[in-house]
Amino acid sequence: MSAPWSAPPAREAVHATVDVAGSKSITNRALVLAALATGPSTLRSPLRSRDTELMAAALRTLGVEVVDGPGDEWLITPGKPHGPATVDCGLAGTVMRFLPPMACLAEGTITFDGDPRARERPLDTVLRALRRLGARVSGDSLPFTIDGSGGMDGGAVTIDASASSQFVSGLLLSAARYERGLTVHHDGESVPSLPHIAMTVEMLRAQGVEVDDSEPDTWTVAPGGIEPLELRIEPDLSNAAPFLAAAAVTGGELTVPGWPERTTQAGDAIRWILREMGASTRLDERGLTVTGPERLRGVDVDLHEIGELTPTVAALAALAHGESRLRGIAHLRGHETDRLAALRAELTGLGAEVSEHPDGLTVVPRPMRGGQWHSYADHRMATAGAILGLRVPGTVIDDITTTSKTLPGFEEMWTKMLGGRQ
């Protein structure tokens, strides 16, 4: 059920420290690897949100044991995947794209379905690839079924991953369990969000899997075992971005503890984007601290590899001084919603001047007024509305509960950041 939420305006500059839960991208990759590992694994400080709970539930459905440990951890004991089973993908791209290659290792029929919008998200690239590798797959989008025979031969496959890096990651995560391993070659326009593939490769290698990515647009995974994980999940840097943006738009200062010095998370790029817009950043033992300027400035930025930050950057751009151009993000039309069309409609509705281009948006700040901000069941659209509400009184987000997809308790965190005032 939707929950309209009046985004609280900032009555003064934000000064706060905000602890952010674990990375969704790392948590869901770790869950899949743990499910395929040679023994039990422990994930400490995992993100517990709709997307990750859907992944854990799906693995349980396939015969993997995922239980709560004595602390803030998940204990995962692998089991031979089997059907019959039904996987609820919700609106999680990681579930609908990471689990089909694993389901091909199962014995029996596995049915996949999800939210109505999930049935519109690009998925046929992975399913066609699995068919070419010998899997029995019925359907090209949700809902679909996989009739598993208990294993996959593997080999080589060429795909067009220009719509999502998750197509590559999904195939790589299970590839070591295929009899001959797997080589994935991309043939098409550039792959978006390459840091996410780098994250997948690094996590595979950390568990003893041999991965060769020396040739551009080609990834080869050798067959073999996956070592059990003992992993503490680092904070979700993309989820941290709206809180850092709050300091930037109010001329305040905000610290996110535990920010890693080195990471494969695409959200780390928010540091240099905020600096380009006039904020200052400092990374030290306390974490990452952002200090906002007197006035933000517009930015011309290619977000092709960091598209998940686009709603946050678009909100910042609408509150900046000068025009902003956000480029390289045509693939965002296939995310939880068509994010380019959604951002243009919602920013325009509050008074900004926004032009949509084949590969992105131009945002020209104009005097803004309060009004309804539609979330489109998209967590990042909802948090973008909250950023705008800091400076645009009367902004009402039509459904704030969609933030539970990756950031449960967002409203309370946001209010606490503002000193508990509404």
CB atoms within 10 A of CB 306: 27
Q: 353: closest CA among 345, 368, 343, 363? A: 363
Residue 193 known to bind ligand: yes
Residue 177 known to bind ligand: no
Burial bucket for residue 107 (CB in 10 Å: 0-12, 13-18, 19+): middle
Residue 214 known to bind ligand: no
Residue 344 known to bind ligand: no
pLDDT tops 70 at residue 3: yes
Averaged pLDDT of the chain: 96
Model confidence, pTM: 0.92
Q: 370: closest CA among 355, 388, 353, 392? A: 392
- 42-56 pLDDT, tens digit per residue, is 999 999 999 999 999
Any idea which residues carry the catalytic annotation? 308
Tell me the domains of the chain and their CATH numbers: 5-21+235-417 (3.65.10.10), 24-219 (3.65.10.10)
Q: How confident is the model at residue 422 (pLDDT cuts 50, 70, 90)?
A: very low
Sheet with 371-373: list strands edge to edge.
Answer: 5-6, 395-397, 371-373
Task: State mean pLDDT over 12-30.
Answer: 97
Residue 324 known to bind ligand: no
Residue 360 known to bind ligand: no
Residue 120 known to bind ligand: no
Q: How confident is the model at residue 70 (pLDDT cuts 50, 70, 90)?
A: confident
Residue 93 known to bind ligand: yes
Residue 265 known to bind ligand: no
Q: How confident is the model at residue 1 (pLDDT cuts 50, 70, 90)?
A: low
Query: What pLDDT score does 334 carry?
Result: 84
Query: What pLDDT score does 420 carry?
Result: 52
Residue 271 known to bind ligand: no
Task: State mean pLDDT over 183-191.
Answer: 96
Q: Which two tokens stand for residue 172?
A: 């790589």
Scan for tokens 């009367």, then name that residue: 394
Cβ atoms 167, 161 nearer than 8 A? yes
Task: State mean pLDDT over 371-382.
Answer: 96
What is the share, in percent, of the chain residues with pLDDT greater than 90?
A: 96
What is the share, in percent, of the chain residues with pLDDT greater than 70?
A: 99
Residue 41 known to bind ligand: no
From residue 302, alpha-carbon distances to 168, 327, 378 in Å are: 22, 5, 22
**How many Å apart are CA 80 and CA 64, to the nearest integer?**
7
Query: What pLDDT score does 184 carry?
Result: 98
Q: What is the maximum alpha-carbon separation in the chain?
A: 62
- 252-303 pLDDT, tens digit per residue, is 999 999 999 999 999 999 999 999 999 999 999 999 999 999 999 999 999 9
Q: What is the DSSP string of 354-392?
A: EEEETTEEEEE------EEE--TT-HHHHHHHHHHHHHS
Query: What pLDDT score does 336 carry?
Result: 81
**How many Å apart are CA 190 and CA 176, to the nearest integer?**
25
